[in-house]
């Protein structure tokens, strides 16, 4: 009955496992120095000439390449620099995916700067006016970060419209609000009205994907922070870089390191070996893929399911477009749905490729009878199938 005692007697391989957590904010951000410096330049006027302008910035880039963490660290830098000069700048980071509605986002912003604010009884317009009044009274400039902004846009809500227009037409008034929006790609903006788009598009910072070398540096740094010395070798980190590079999501690599270390501990090893990394990488589905799947149209999910099932059943690493079509038609038939056209499915395939889910090996490009072999190299098929079926179930479709 001494389970804990036994476990505690074992030497741990971790220095601090929370430093591999995706929400942990490290002291350094290798390879994002340029972005931090650019943000500082853009917001310098908040310090040199407080409340004279309202900056609106849009940040774009794939999932897991450090957008959130970079902006959070920038927020810290800004807070410190303004406090040093006795300028009151507040930084509020809101995740729109978590808050879901404009109302909740606004309440979150207001309560972060004014804890006493009541939770109910105001319209969004009221809330906004209340916010500005409070900022004016206390002489505060607020930098609002709307992370994963696309989740608000898709709902056709007007918060972005309101926020981007605060003080828009008033000359010589104090500018109290600056905004950083974070989106994966710019296509989600299409649903906004023209003038909001043009306001937001004035300053875009595109975060580029990390190269293999950069991913190596980042993972090595995070491993150094979290694991004891010599627990993981450079070669093993390289191996993890290889599995991370495909979709580029650093969280994927962090997760493999964590799992591999846990497996090594479970086996009483003094360090992580090859086998631990292999096992640790096996059952993970990249977070970016999960994200993509959650918002994928049902028809596309059916088609992806056809690929997964086809690969599973044939036990081959590749499957032909023709073979996938057969499986797809069966799925549609079972559900009583009209299958999509060949060219539509071909487009889906191209999208899967862009989303780093499949690899396509094209044998011939003739429109009739396109010959191509399709692979799903990175993701465990059984796991992927389960996830697709679960997502469809949430949409009320039972396969």
Summarize as ranges the residues that interact with ligand ADP (CB under 6 A). 22, 26, 29-32, 61, 63-69, 218, 222, 250-251, 254
- Report the alpha-carbon distance of residue 256 to residue 11 in Å, rounded: 21
Q: Is 70 in the site for Mg ion (CB under 5 A)?
A: no
**Residues 254 to 293: which contact Mg ion by CB under 5 A?**
none
For residue 187, the minimal CB distance to ligand ADP (Å) is: 17
- Asked if residues 204 and 60 have their Cβ atoms less than 8 Å apart, the reply is yes
- Asked if residues 219 and 244 have their Cβ atoms less than 8 Å apart, the reply is yes
Judged by CB under 5 A, which stretch of 64-72, 243-251, 321-329, 340-348 contacts Mg ion? 64-72
For residue 283, the minimal CB distance to ligand ADP (Å) is: 20
For residue 66, the minimal CB distance to Mg ion (Å) is: 8
Spatial CA neighbour of 247 closest among 347, 97, 375, 358: 358
- Which DSSP helix (H) or strand (E) runs through 359? strand 359-364
**Position closest to ligand ADP via CB:** 66
Nearer to Mg ion by Cβ, of 17 and 291: the residue is: 291
Nearer to ligand ADP by Cβ, of 66 and 75: the residue is: 66
**Bridge partners, 146 (sequence order):** 94, 181
Could you say which of 51, 54, 60, 68 contacts Mg ion (CB under 5 A)? 68
Backbone phi, psi, residue 294, to 5°: -60, -30
Residue 170: how many other CB atoms lie within 10 Å = 9
**Position closest to Mg ion via CB:** 68
For residue 146, the minimal CB distance to ligand ADP (Å) is: 13
Judged by CB under 5 A, which stretch of 68-76, 107-115, 324-332, 384-392 contacts Mg ion? 68-76
Q: Residue 315: how many CA atoms within 13 Å on its side-chain side?
A: 0
Number of residues in the chain: 399
Nearer to ligand ADP by Cβ, of 59 and 177: the residue is: 59
- Report the alpha-carbon distance of residue 126 to residue 272 in Å, rounded: 56
Q: Which residues bind Mg ion (CB under 5 A)?
A: 68
């Amino acid at each position: 009955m001494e389970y804990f005692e036994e476990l505690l007697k074992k030497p741990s391989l971790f220095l601090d496992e929370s430093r591999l957590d995706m929400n942990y904010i490290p002291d350094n951000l290798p390879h994002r120095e340029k972005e931090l410096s650019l943000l500082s330049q853009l917001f310098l006027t908040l310090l040199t000439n407080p409340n004279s302008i309202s900056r609106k910035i849009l940040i774009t880039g794939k999932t897991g390449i450090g957008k959130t963490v970079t902006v959070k660290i920038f927020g810290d830098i800004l807070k410190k620099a303004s406090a040093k000069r006795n300028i009151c700048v507040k930084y509020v980071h809101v995740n729109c995916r978590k808050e879901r509605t404009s109302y909740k986002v606004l309440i979150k912003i207001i309560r972060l700067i004014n804890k006493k604010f009541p939770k109910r009884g105001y319209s969004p317009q009221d809330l906004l006016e209340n916010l500005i009044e409070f900022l004016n009274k206390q002489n505060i400039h607020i930098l609002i970060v709307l992370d994963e902004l696309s989740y608000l846009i898709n709902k056709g809500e007007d918060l972005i419209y309101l926020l981007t227009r605060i003080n828009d037409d008033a000359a010589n008034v104090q500018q109290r609000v600056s905004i950083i929006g974070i989106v994966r790609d710019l296509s989600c903006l299409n649903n906004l009205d023209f003038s909001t788009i043009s306001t937001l598009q004035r300053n875009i910072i595109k975060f580029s994907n990390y190269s293999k070398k950069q991913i190596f540096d980042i993972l090595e740094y995070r491993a150094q922070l979290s694991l004891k010395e010599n627990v993981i070798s450079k070669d093993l980190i390289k191996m993890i870089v290889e599995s991370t590079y495909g979709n580029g999501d650093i969280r994927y690599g962090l997760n493999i390191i964590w799992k591999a270390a846990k497996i090594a501990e479970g086996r009483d090893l003094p360090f992580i070996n090859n086998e631990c990394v292999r096992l640790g990488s096996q059952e993970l589905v990249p977070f970016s893929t999960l994200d993509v799947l959650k918002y994928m149209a049902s028809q596309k999910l059916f088609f992806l399911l056809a690929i997964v099932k086809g690969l599973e059943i044939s036990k081959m690493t590749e499957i032909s477009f023709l073979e996938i079509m057969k499986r797809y038609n069966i799925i549609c038939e079972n559900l009583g749905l009209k299958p999509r056209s060949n060219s539509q499915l071909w487009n889906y395939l191209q999208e899967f490729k862009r989303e780093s889910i499949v690899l396509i090996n094209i044998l011939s490009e003739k429109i009739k009878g396109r010959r191509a072999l399709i692979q799903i190299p990175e993701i465990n098929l059984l796991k992927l199938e389960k996830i697709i079926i679960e997502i469809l179930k949430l949409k009320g479709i039972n396969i």
